[in-house]
A and B are shown apart, each in its own frame.
Chain A
Amino acid sequence: MTTQTHAPAARRAPRLVPSLGVVVPATLVGAFVLAAVAPSVLAPGDPTAIDLEAAFLPPSTEHLLGTDQSGRDLWTRVVHGTRHSLLIGLGATGVALAIAAVLGFAAGLGGRLVDRVVGSLIEVSFAFPTMLLALLLVAVRGPSPSTLVLAVGIGSAPGYARMIRGQVLAVRQEAYVEAALALGHRRRDVVVRHVLPNAMRPLVAVVTLGISQSVVWASGLAFLGMGVAPPSPEWGALLEAGRTYVTFAWWLEVMPGLAIVLLAVSVTALGRAAQRRLEGTDR
């Protein structure tokens, strides 16, 4: 059993019925995506419709998650807020990846000097608290969703950058890269066709995990008033708005919080499943 000569025939056949650990989070993520794309399907009402007579109603069959101080239906607001939270999460991850790809590939491909400079940059930004960075950005640009996206994006970029750098350095050493060079392909082509895609491959799962991380961070920043202003149904903003009434209207805090947790947990579960799959079937 020293060398593998027989094709791995005994490999586990692909499961036709996915496990519960995939179905449940996938359904939840699907629901969140639906809420983001077409909120009216799940919550036909107007998220900003004020009904002062129905203020502070606890969860009931009529108001699934209760109402807030202005009598707005919390279910409708949470559903309509999904789009903001998800977009901020995705946007922040996108920004992080873009920055990280530039830094990571520069460090991995640019030679020793570039690697030293970029490497130090990454290490320094690791030491810089994301919150502080966000405060700085808010101070410069004023609170807005795009500030939030930038802040969270810049804050999570160093982690990805370091991963990409390591991957690029590893893939560069692979025999298939040398084999492609030996065939007489241009360095540039080899980088684009072999190094780039193979270096990014393991990031698929990590990025999924990163999205939920970004959603949590963005909500946290919004809660501190650094993102979307309170009338908006963004989840962090909902939490912030409900803070004052938490002693007698618990649902204003618990329900949006639950939404954040559910999204983060289900996306993370999917990411982990993807990671297992990638590691299980590929090298």
Chain B
Amino acid sequence: MTATPSTALAARPAPGADAGPGAPLLRVENLRVGFTRGGRTTDVVHGISFALEAGRCLAVVGESGSGKSVTARTLVGLTGAGASVTADRLELAGRDLTALRPRQWRAVRGAEVGFVLQDALVSLDQLRTVGNEVGEPLRLHRWGDRHRRARRVLKVLAEVGVPEPGLRARQRPYELSGGLRQRALIATALALDPALVVADEPTTALDVTVQAQVLDLLAQTKERGKAVLLISHDLAVVARLADEVCVMRDGVIVEAGPAEQVLHRPRHPYTRTLVDAVPSEHTRGTRLSSVPVTLASHHGVTARERAGSAAADATVPVLEARGLTKRFRGPDKVDRTVVDGVSFSLGRGRTLGIVGESGSGKTTTARMALAMLTPDAGEVLLDGGPWSSLTSQGRRPLRRRVGVVYQDPLSSFDPRWSVGRVLADAIGRAPARVPDPRARAVELLELVGLGPEHLDRRPLRLSGGQRQRVAIARALAPEPDVVVLDEPVSALDVSVQAQVLDLLGDLQQALGVAYLFISHDLGVIRHMSHDVLVMHGGRVVEHGPADDVLADPQHEYTRGLLAAVPRLTTPGGP
């Protein structure tokens, strides 16, 4: 049961007035959170209700700005200065949390509620050993003596699956991998054995295989009788762990219920949008978003595009890499081979997806394809001609044929420049002189689904999705043959990600541009790519048509990677 929105689901037994066994551990009714700043109060959470029992996991799902993180912080009393929190009921194990003073909150935090933050790299003090960090809540709550605390730290570290806890406890966060750091963070939250664990996006910055391990760990925590409140934007992650799901939007719960029902038979249109937006559940060629993208002006553009590359031979790959190798010298003066003998070929108007985890060398490969890095061995050919072997002088006139879109669009715009100036600058690189750059800029904006009113705005004033659209428009302005997309949707909300992926698909159909698509997300890669290159440790472990590689992976690593991807539908499920 539990997860009761204020309106719907009257059929389920009302959260009992009796606080006997089986009563929810956490009970939240009509919670409202507002922030007062400069005399104005903005409400971000508008009266939400839910409950959570021991040994269960409730997921609060929503996109940025939905109020999910604020809700999580309220439950540990860290809503922040200027926040007003009211609730008809906010109870943890029968204890009223609304009246707690900061002092009393400190007693609750850590001991009764453990809080796992998103980014372990910034959430852990770089100068403190892991053992100190994990032992901190024990010390603050005056738990045991020094020796008992040290033993407890080792025990908790072992519990969360940190190998060699004795060694790790003496290391500092920067000496650990991302997965180990996240485990250490979870260990800190579990140190005092709290009944409730609040995890705010616990796997967002992690590689899929590490993510799978962390999710398993949280599942074990749940099985040991803890209640887990999971905050996430990722429905697939939620599907793996949650028993109940609340979908939040703009500070209200729009849908709540058992995970199985919410994720597979969503009632609310917004939930449906979210579920549909998960790329791994769709085959290539289908749309992820219901927002129609009108390529109003694509006829004109297409004509110009064709004229630009009419001479090109369709059989010659537009971008080809042969035995690319790149070594970097580490701080210890030892050369490391980051990319080792990578070859691929990208056909005109096709998409090659490069997938791999952090450190696999995929971004280095992309930078060599862009000719921003010179390979130590091997070469990149553009349209059958030299590319990486050119001098930077000789490469400059050809640069416009290879566009680029980065993960963080904002940092790829000069902060002083307006959208119009950014586009005009790129239009100036087009092969033929554009008679009216402003009209062309408006046309490009239209192409990516933005209105002319955005011309005079600074990218800083745009939303993440809009920024990425402008970045795509800039990449397309000089009429390139191929665009290198380096994690282009990783920083976007799922529904926005869906729209941008759809847009990229439409643009490819209309303009015949080829994509070199870099991503850590197998779902996105599967959805976008004709061919797939799986990278691991700088080498290509598998390469072939997307359907073959992902449906029937030959290499052990690819199989592991695929198995680690959280899915909405369990194999054999509905």
A interface residues (Cβ-Cβ under 8 A, vs B): 1-8, 10, 12, 174-176, 178-187, 193-194, 197-198, 201, 282-283
Contact between B460 and A174, CB atoms less than 8 A apart: no
Q: How far, in whole Å, are A100 and B75 apart by their CA atoms in the complex?
A: 52
Contact between A182 and B461, CB atoms less than 8 A apart: no
Query: Shortest CB–CB separation between residue B232 and chain A, in angstroms?
Result: 9
Q: How far, in whole Å, are A3 and B465 apart by their CA atoms in the complex?
A: 10
B404 beta carbon closer than 8 Å to chain A: yes
Query: Which residues of chain B in 96-144 are interfacial with respect to chain A, using CB atoms and an 8 Å cutoff?
Result: 118
Q: Which residues of B contact A187 (CB under 8 A)?
A: 392
Question: Beta-carbon contacts of B410-432 to A below 8 Å, as 1s and 0s?
Answer: 01111110000000011001000
A175-B411, A183-B478 given; A1·B65 CB < 8 A: yes
- Pick 26 A–B contacts, CB within 8 A, sort by A: A2-B64, A3-B492, A4-B464, A5-B464, A6-B64, A7-B461, A7-B462, A8-B460, A12-B38, A175-B408, A176-B414, A178-B404, A178-B412, A179-B406, A179-B474, A181-B399, A182-B372, A182-B399, A183-B399, A183-B425, A184-B399, A185-B429, A194-B414, A197-B416, A201-B416, A282-B415
Query: Which residues of chain B in 369-384 are interfacial with respect to chain A, using CB atoms and an 8 Å cutoff?
Result: 370, 372
Dominant SS among interface residues on chain A? loop
Query: Shortest CB–CB separation between residue B117 and chain A, in angstroms?
Result: 11
A184 CB contact (under 8 Å) in B65, B412, B429: B429
Query: What total count of A-B pairs have CB within 8 Å?
Result: 94
Contact between B403 and A182, CB atoms less than 8 A apart: yes
Contact between B425 and A5, CB atoms less than 8 A apart: no
A8-B461, A176-B413 given; A3·B406 CB < 8 A: no
Q: How far, in whole Å, are A175 and B406 apart by their CA atoms in the complex?
A: 8
Contact between A4 and B478, CB atoms less than 8 A apart: no
Contact between A5 and B411, CB atoms less than 8 A apart: no
Q: How far, in whole Å, are A54 and B356 apart by their CA atoms in the complex?
A: 88
Residue of B whose beta carbon sits closest to that of A13: B38
Q: How far, in whole Å, are A174 and B411 apart by their CA atoms in the complex?
A: 7
Contact between A6 and B65, CB atoms less than 8 A apart: yes
Residue of A whose beta carbon sits closest to that of B400: A184
Q: How far, in whole Å, are A282 and B408 apart by their CA atoms in the complex?
A: 17
Tell me how many residues of B have a C-beta within 8 Å of chain A: 48
- Apart from the given pairs A6-B64, A201-B416, 6 other A-B contacts in the complex at a CB distance below 8 Å: A3-B493, A8-B461, A179-B404, A181-B399, A184-B478, A282-B415
Contact between B412 and A179, CB atoms less than 8 A apart: yes
Contact between B414 and A198, CB atoms less than 8 A apart: yes
Contact between B64 and A183, CB atoms less than 8 A apart: no
Contact between A5 and B461, CB atoms less than 8 A apart: no
Residue of A whose beta carbon sits closest to that of B65: A6
Query: Shortest CB–CB separation between residue B138 and chain A, in angstroms?
Result: 30
B interface residues (Cβ-Cβ under 8 A, vs A): 37-38, 42, 63-65, 68-70, 118, 201, 204, 233, 370, 372, 392, 396-400, 402-404, 406, 408, 411-416, 425-426, 429, 460-466, 474, 478, 491-493, 496
Residue of A whose beta carbon sits closest to that of B411: A175
Q: How far, in whole Å, are A3 and B403 apart by their CA atoms in the complex?
A: 25
Q: Which 8 A-B pairs have the closest CB atoms?
A: A184-B399, A1-B69, A175-B412, A5-B464, A175-B411, A7-B463, A176-B414, A179-B412
Q: How far, in whole Å, are A194 and B416 apart by their CA atoms in the complex?
A: 9
Query: Shortest CB–CB separation between residue A36 and chain B, in angstroms?
Result: 31
Contact between A6 and B118, CB atoms less than 8 A apart: no
Residue of A whose beta carbon sits closest to that of B367: A178
Q: Which residues of B contact A186 (CB under 8 A)?
A: 396
Query: Shortest CB–CB separation between residue A171 and chain B, in angstroms?
Result: 10
Residue of A whose beta carbon sits closest to that of B69: A1
Query: Shortest CB–CB separation between residue A73 and chain B, in angstroms?
Result: 48
Q: Which residues of A contact B392 (CB under 8 A)?
A: 187
Contact between A2 and B118, CB atoms less than 8 A apart: yes
A1-B65, A1-B70, A5-B493 given; A182·B396 CB < 8 A: no
Residue of B whose beta carbon sits closest to that of A182: B404
Query: Shortest CB–CB separation between residue B463 and chain A, in angstroms?
Result: 5
Q: Which residues of B contact A183 (CB under 8 A)?
A: 399-400, 425-426, 429, 478
Q: How far, in whole Å, are A193 and B416 apart by their CA atoms in the complex?
A: 10
Q: How far, in whole Å, are A13 and B126 apart by their CA atoms in the complex?
A: 37
Residue of A whose beta carbon sits closest to that of B70: A1
